Amino acid sequence: MNRLIPITSREAISLEYRDTPIGNLLEYHNLNREYETYTQAQLLIGMCMDNRKHLHIPDNFAFIIRAGGANLRYSEFKVSYAIAVGGVRSIALIGHNQCGMVNLMARKDIFINGLVDNAGWDREWAEQHFTQFAPMFEIGNEIDFVLSEAQRLRLRYPKIQVAPLLYKVEDNLLYQVRES
Ligand SMILES: [Zn+2]
């Protein structure tokens, strides 16, 4: 089963998202929808810090929190702020393929050596740092993670619409993630 829904037309957007800030995000980024003028943010976007990704969206359209793996578990106060003070009612959670937070454990030596060589850390601190934090930031699989993280956010913020999306680095397009 293909877990990604390509958005190649307005009609491909799920009805629940069409004509919402989530649907507008998909239209702006994938379909070159003409930019509207906004005076306040319409949604919160959670996406990975990865440098390969750039969104095509109008000014003022969105709050954006960038964190490894699109993992918002450690950004909760900022999510709450965007909702409570910023007034957004939607969250687009954008995972991406080839994410560095997948199988983080395999990069343990590179991480430790990099901190020692590039940042001037003591090797023991670097090892402790990795051991302490890698389990918090590791994600198993991009698609499974974005689905579980969307589910967690829905339970945490029950009146907020949360959409799990995926950014493919090969074509720079957004896809809806199919939910069972
Ligand atoms: Zn990533």
Say how many Å lie between the CA of residue 148 and the centre of ligand 1. 16
Local confidence band at 1 (pLDDT 50, 70, 90 cut-offs): low
User: Where does 8-151 show beta strands of DSSP type E?
Assistant: 43-47, 62-66, 90-96
C-alpha 140 – ligand 1 centre gap (Å): 12
pLDDT digits (tens, 9 = 90+) for 82-95: 999 999 999 999 99
Write down the pLDDT at residue 180. Answer: 78
Give per-residue pLDDT as tens, 101-144. 999 999 999 999 999 999 999 999 999 999 999 999 999 899 99
Q: Are 26 and 61 spatial neighbours (Cβ–Cβ below 8 Å)?
A: no
Q: Which residues surround ligand 1, an ion (CB under 5 A)?
A: 48, 50, 99
- Residues whose CB falls within 8 Å of the CB of residue 54, separated by 6 or more in sequence, listed in order: 172
pTM of the model: 0.95
